[in-house]
Structure 1
Amino acid sequence: MEKGKENLMLLIAAVYLLGVILLCIVYSNYKISLLLLPALGLLWYYLLFVKKDGKTLPQLIEPKMTFRQELWKNTLNELATAVALIDGGNKIIWKNKAFIDTFETAGEKIRHIDEIIPSDILKQSNEQCQEIELQNKHFYVKSVALPTNGRGNSRNYRAIFIEDIEDLYDLRLRLKEKEAAVCYFYVDNFDEIMSACPEENRPELLAKIEKTITQWVHNHNGLIRKYDDDKYLVMLNLGDFQKAEQANFNILDALREIKVSQVMTPTLSIGAAYGESTLTESNKLAQNALELCLGRGGDQVVVKAYGKTYFYGGKTKEVERYSRVRARVISHALRGLIEETDMVMVIGHLFLDMDALGAGVGLVSAVKSLNKPGYIILTPEQSPSVDSLMELLLSDEEMKKVFIGEKEALDKITKKTLLVVLDTHRPSLIMSEKVLEKAEKVVVIDHHRRGEKFIDKGLLVYLEPYASSTSEMVTELIQYMGDDIKITPLAATAMLSGIAVDTRNFAFKTGVRTFEAASFLRRAGADPILVYKLFQEEADAVYRRAKVIKRAEEFIEHVVISYYEEEPPNPTLAAAQAANSLIGLKGVYASFVLVPMGDKISVSGRSLGNINVQRILEKLGGGGHMTVAGAQLYGISMEEALEKVKQAVIDYMKEGESS
């Protein structure tokens, strides 16, 4: 205490002496000032640098602040949580024992915090606690700004707290494995295989199917309940369900090994869901997953979990299974909606093709038979692939009046207007999302395998992935609408061209009903020669395609890939035609052709059916059918795009999806 008073008195004396010197300088007494300066210097040196009781004056003046710093430093040092203090440049200026023991076990010093924690995670940890994985362990990371005590410190010191939560993470995993996955099993072709099987063998066949499914479920420690001849409800622990996922649901293969006849085997569709807060929600999602699975053609598994959808299987070729009864019911319902509306508007997808356009023309022709106005919505940037058909249609004065643009459609549409969406079910692919938004009555007619995103406001949805084309589906609907429905020969020709495009002149995805639809159109006046002329090409297009075929590369056995170096006049059609040409080569089972289109690269995939190009191009954000699919890649070079497609094919082959 005496030392404190002594230092205080010396400090006052030094300040007083400094004041006297300044007064002397002001009043020009320089000699006195010079005499006093050495005394002042000695006094300040003593006060600032000579230790009293082991401490200098600045340390004695602030004993409380030093005590607080030491207290916090010792406390943080003994924490089990790793702590590091960093400056504004992420440089570590102090770290506690737990930090050193956790992250510096190899002896290497960590000088900057972003050597172990990524910068983006570090920024997010300023707002909330982040869970991250470091050195194969799991941690919570939190960043806290340190106060500057109002001293204008601009170095932005922060404390980083890193808590080891590995035990908590393991506990969560164990609890998660006890969650339940809800599954719906559906034997796709139950009625067909029972009809094909001799009556005396049916009990044996049914027993084989039930035994295969039940045994698989019991092997995964699950619960199974049959609630219809071809339907089962299954519950599995999440841990066991994930093992089934890792095995790519081999139950699909096991069921296909049961032979009913030389050409028919049973196939299974599974819709599953988990990760919801209640079993009720999981059950609802599992039912939606089964619907999605059936909409994609069946013989596969669709899993919905934590807001994402996963697909497994989809191996077998699509066969004609859609019911004439359903087509008749949909037809009568559609006629009822048309009769109740004030007008019908038809809209297709972006990059319009002959199938969507032909189906639209046919439907509008049928609508006019019911004395209702009908329109087809087109955009100025419609695909050049329909130019030849559009030229034919616009040569007819009556047909010319049915084509309207987006703005005119938005002006005309009312609450009673019926909007029919053709050849797509994905909102992002529709030609005008504004029209879809404004329409209150919507019908969807499509033959593509159902994707995760779907137009959810449809009053009537007719989705049949087994049909060859939308034109075939619309033709069948027109047949069942009634004898009073007539279509013009021009409309019949347009619809026949749509079927011809999607079946590649009746070679692919062609069933009995495809030929029946073509026969109906021929009777209605469709001109096959005119359809043939629509597909005639310019010589330059053929020459360009020949170059693409020449540079084709077989990067995997039976799979080839090629590309256009420059954008052709009609890139989408050019890529599709080149892919068709490549698939016609002997020994080629699947082909992919890439073509530049402005700021993106379009990919066209074709297959003979034993390789699912839809599954491959879905990985790249595209879609389509098992034998015909496409995708578009943005912001990458042609070399990068080629590598992406090759890798997607390689990944597909590794999954064992080819047959």
Structure 2
Amino acid sequence: MNKSHYKTFINRVFLQPHFYILILFVFGVIFLFYEPVIGFVAMLLCVALLIFTLLWGKKGSQLEERTLNKDYDFHSIHKDVLSYFPFPFIMVDAHGWIKWYNPRIEEVIKAKNLVNKNIQNLFLDITADQFPKGKEQVTKTITVDNRHYNVYIDRVYLSQASGSQRTMYGLYFIDNTHNMILKEENLKQKVSIGLIFIDNYEEVMQSVEDVRRPLLIALIDRKLNSWAQQGEGIVKKLEKDQYLMLFYNEHLEKFRQKKFEILDEIRQIHIGNELPVTLSIGIGVNGKNLPQSMEYAKAAIDLALGRGGDQAVIKNVDKYSFYGGKTKEVEKSTRVKARMKAYAFREIIEESDEVLIMGHKNPDVDCLGAAIGVYRAAQLLGKKAYIVLNEPTSAIKTVYDKILESGEYEEKIFLNSIEAIGHTGEKTLVVVVDVHRPSYTECPELLELSKNIVVFDHHRRSAEFIDNAVLTYLEPFISSTCEMIAEILQYIVDKVKLKPIEADILLAGITIDTKNFVFKTGVRTFEAAAFLRRNGADSTRVRMLFQNDMESYQARAAAVKDARIYRKNMAISIAPSDLKNGAVIAAQAADELLNISGIKASFVMCSIKNDVMISARSLGDINVQLIMEKLGGGGHQTVAGAQFSEVPIDEVYDQLIEAIDEYLEEGAERR
């Protein structure tokens, strides 16, 4: 017998009065044989003690039961305590119906007779499905009449007369208004850091007379200082084209409300300069300290410059806000940057064992052409290279088949995602082309497995970005990624030799993205095309790559025919659904609609299985990139798009209309 059992035995036997009465009764029986009188008295005493013990025990149990189970008295005490509880309190059932509350809750909502009303009718932010399922406590933050409350919700079990339990919920309201005011005041007094860059300083200075340059600089400085003083801030010039600005957070809302009017004021400076001056502004807000706010500002200014400049970007911890972005990107005539990027890219390739080239999901000809160009660069440097492609889309099917049928490539050139992951190693280089958003790549897992990543892209930079790349070349003024790669190839080795099929595909990528050398075409675009022509590209073969069948042509014509004119200068249409090359047809129809007199922007939607895609085009007066960003897409000022999954096309149409209206209300349309 262990120790615990021994104690239990002692409590049950030796500490009970019945045990000693039994011993006394035994002695009485014994004395009955020797001393009958004493034995008889002892037995009577045992009987009397036994009766007294039984009667007292029953009465004591009844008294204890009445004391412990006097529900009315207990609940009245409990009710009185909660009535004078210093915090508002409500008791509700599992469905949110109020069963009891203390008077202090009436002070919160300025109402009475709340019993049998639902909690959601009084507080919209509190619903029954938010109640805790177990012992955990749920906390909610609500605002009532400009006062802030923390609501703590606990699960309570109440015993009923039948012996069963009923689940109830207690809600405690703690007034947190004072703390919220102090927090807001603290945020207002924090210092925000702004970095201001002049986007086209060199180009503007070259376009103005020497004697007017000091006056131009003085005007820019004066306008920036005047703007900063409106927010009680200061501006310090760091470089000839860079400024540092400090101001309190409470003035940031003024800048937001006026849409950073300084961008327009600087652009309107004309003292003989042929080009308008544009600014990029990056602001870091709510960092833990000044160094972190500076890091936010640097990330914001990088994003503003990557999106083409002439805009303000605010980074608030992990959220971005965008303002401006009205003007077209300014082409840089010098190719110094391209040469430096090419030299760095060559060194990275030489240090690698293998190169994996990856574009975006649903690749187009520009994406595949750029991948072919990087493939040739790796081959010229003696490295094995592969292109990651899960399935050729209708947009590249013709080009893809030409590559396989050409017989120019002995080894396997294309890998799917699973095969590509198997090729990753310590010295594997991953080159991303025509995309900079990780979630949009053909195989996002490669970005996590590889330490060596290079990014080539011509799209305006978005908030989502591949931030662990060892080399990034992102220039939104360049017409296409194929143009970018064509320039890079010229500096990879001394004598570049491309296969005719490769030159054709690179030229095809440039041709498509520039709409036959009409949009975003600069001097460097024609120089890249000339380089490809010298390496065997043929314009007739390129044109044959773009031929459509009769079904596709009729679908494009139907999309143009059914277009609706919106806001007098925008065309919106829905292309026939579930075609094998629906995305290409939508893009071609959007281009075709711009040929109609008076149309400044076009939007064509198409449904492909469970997805809906939008192709947006513009002549430059309307920034379709800003409109598509409101729908989760992106692109350029004149060419952009967006994609939806599991959303009906009618709902996408309504969202597009709403995004266009919001864009116009913000005054983003270039006047």
TM-score range, shorter chain: 0.7 to 0.9
Are residue 398 (structure 1) and residue 408 (structure 2) matched? yes
Per-residue CA distance 1:377-427 (angstroms, 9 max, x = gap): 2212x2110112122222211236322333333333332222211111111
Would the aligned equivalents of 1:563 and 1:595 in 2 still touch at CA under 8 Å?
A: yes
Report if aligned partners of 1:571, 1:595 keep a CA contact under 8 Å in 2.
yes
Mapping of 1:52-201 within 5 angstroms? 66-105=72-111, 111-117=117-123, 118-119=126-127, 122-123=130-131, 127-148=137-158, 152-201=163-212
The equivalent position to 1:571 in structure 2, one of 545, 562, 582, is 582
Change (3 A) 1:88 1:403: closer
Question: Which stretch shows the higher mean deviation, 120-129 or 244-253?
Answer: 120-129
Would the alpha carbon gap of residues 375 and 63 (structure 1) be closer, same or farther in structure 2, given more than 3 Å must change? closer
**Quick one: which of 456, 466, 488 aligns to 1:445?**
456
Q: Equivalent pairs: percent with the same residue?
A: 36
> Match for 2:614 among 595, 603, 609?
603
1:428 counterpart = 2:436: no
Supply the distance in 1 between the matched residues of 2:438 and 2:410 (Cα, whole angstroms): 27
1:645 paired with 2:653, answer no
d(CA) in 1 for partners of 2:335 and 2:483? Answer: 13
Q: What is the alpha-carbon distance in structure 1 between the residues aligned to residue 186 and residue 624 of structure 2?
A: 39
Deviation string 1:528-547 (CA, Å, 9 cap, x unpaired) is: 01111111111221211122
The structure 2 residue matched to 1:545, chosen from 539, 543, 556, is: 556
CA distance in 2, matches of 1:319, 1:133: 48
Q: 2:244 aligns to what SS in structure 1? A: strand
SS where residue 157 of structure 1 aligns? strand
SS of 1:350's partner is coil
- Find the residue that maps to 2:419 and give its secondary structure: helix
**By how many angstroms is 1:333 displaced?**
1.3
CA distance change for structure 1 residues 422 and 440 in 2, over 3 Å: closer, same or farther?
A: same
Structure 2 CA distance for partners of 1:178 and 1:496, relative to 1, 3 Å: same
- Identify the residue that residue 542 of structure 2 maps to in structure 1: 531
1:92-491 map, 5 Å: 92-105=98-111, 111-117=117-123, 118-119=126-127, 122-123=130-131, 127-148=137-158, 152-261=163-272, 263-321=274-332, 323-380=334-391, 382-399=392-409, 401=411, 402-491=413-502
Instruction: Specify the SS of the correspondent of 2:94.
Output: coil
Letter in 1 for 2:152: K
**Residue deviations 1:306-345 (CA, integer Å, cap 9, x gap):** 3211111111011212741111111111112222222322
Q: Residues of 1 paired with 2:578 and 2:368: CA distance?
A: 24
Is the Cα contact below 8 Å between 1:88 and 1:155 reproduced in 2? no
Gaps of 5+ in 1: 1-56
Q: Deviations over 1:26-51 (max 9, x none)?
A: xxxxxxxxxxxxxxxxxxxxxxxxxx
Name the SS for the 2:308 alignment partner: coil
AA in 1 matched with 2:420:
A
C-alpha distance 121-225 of structure 1, shift in aligned 2 (>3 A): farther
Q: Say whether the 8 Å CA contact 1:601–1:638 is kept in structure 2.
A: yes
Read off the aligned partner of 1:130 and give its amino acid letter.
K
Aligned partners of 1:120 and 1:481: how far apart in 2? 65
Q: Please say if residues 196 and 245 of structure 2, whose CA atoms lie closer than 8 Å, have aligned partners that are also in contact.
A: yes
Question: 2-side partners of 1:127 and 1:555: how far apart?
Answer: 52
Change (3 A) 1:110 1:191: farther
The one-letter amino acid of 1:318's match is E
Conserved in 1, the CA contact under 8 Å of 2:313 and 2:320? Answer: yes
Tell me the alpha carbon deviations over residues 58-92 of structure 1, each in whole angstroms, 9 at most, x when there is no partner.
Answer: 99867975444333323322345321112233221
Q: Which amino acid aligns with 1:506?
A: F
Equivalent-residue separation in structure 2 for 1:63 and 1:406 (angstroms) = 70
Give the drift of 1:186.
0.8
CA offset digits 1:324-373 (Å, max 9, x no partner): 11111111111122222223222111111111111121222233223322
Partner of 2:508: 497
Quote the offset at 1:481 in angstroms. Answer: 2.3
563-572 or 409-418, larger mean C-alpha shift: 409-418
Moved more, 208-217 or 140-149: 140-149
Higher relative contact order (CA 8 A, sep 6+): 1
* Alignment-mate amino acid for residue 333 of structure 1: A
Tell me, yes or no, if the aligned pair for 1:612 and 1:658 is still in contact at 8 Å.
yes
Moved more, 279-288 or 208-217: 279-288
**Whole-angstrom distance in 2 between the partners of 1:419 and 1:549:** 41
CA contact (8 A) 2:204 2:274 kept: no
**Alpha-carbon distance, 1:285 to partner:** 1.1
Q: Deviations over 1:550-570 (max 9, x none)?
A: 221122231121102422221
Residues 400 and 530 of structure 1: CA distance in aligned 2, closer, same or farther (over 3 Å): farther
1:456 is displaced (CA, Å) by: 2.2
Distance 1:104 1:443, change over 3 A: same
User: Do the aligned partners of 1:370 and 1:485 also contact (CA within 8 Å) in 2?
Assistant: no
Q: Kindly indicate whether the alpha-carbon contact (under 8 Å) linking 1:124 and 1:130 is maintained by their aligned counterparts in 2.
A: no
Q: Deviations over 1:239-280 (max 9, x none)?
A: 101211121111111111112546411111011111222121
Counterpart position of 1:506: 517
* Range 327-336 or range 63-72, more displaced: 63-72
Paired with 2:355 and 2:271, the residues of 1 have a C-alpha distance of 46
Contact 2:296 2:317 (C-alpha < 8 Å) held by counterparts = no
1:614 paired to 2:622: no
Distance of aligned partners of 1:78 and 1:411 in 2 relative to their CA distance in 1, 3 Å threshold: closer
Shift of 1:201: 0.7
- What is the CA–CA distance in structure 1 between the aligned matches of 2:129 and 2:212, rounded to whole Å? 64
**TM-score with structure 2 setting the length:** 0.85
User: Is the 1:116–1:134 Cα contact (8 Å) retained in structure 2?
Assistant: no
Looking at structure 2, the residues matched to 261 and 448 of structure 1 have their Cα atoms a distance apart, in angstroms, of: 32
TM-score normalised according to structure 1 size = 0.87
Structure 2 alignment gaps of length 5 or more: 1-62
Q: How many positions carry a matched residue from both structures?
A: 602
Question: What is the alpha-carbon distance in structure 2 between the residues aligned to residue 361 and residue 154 of structure 1?
Answer: 72
Counterpart amino acid of 1:517?
A
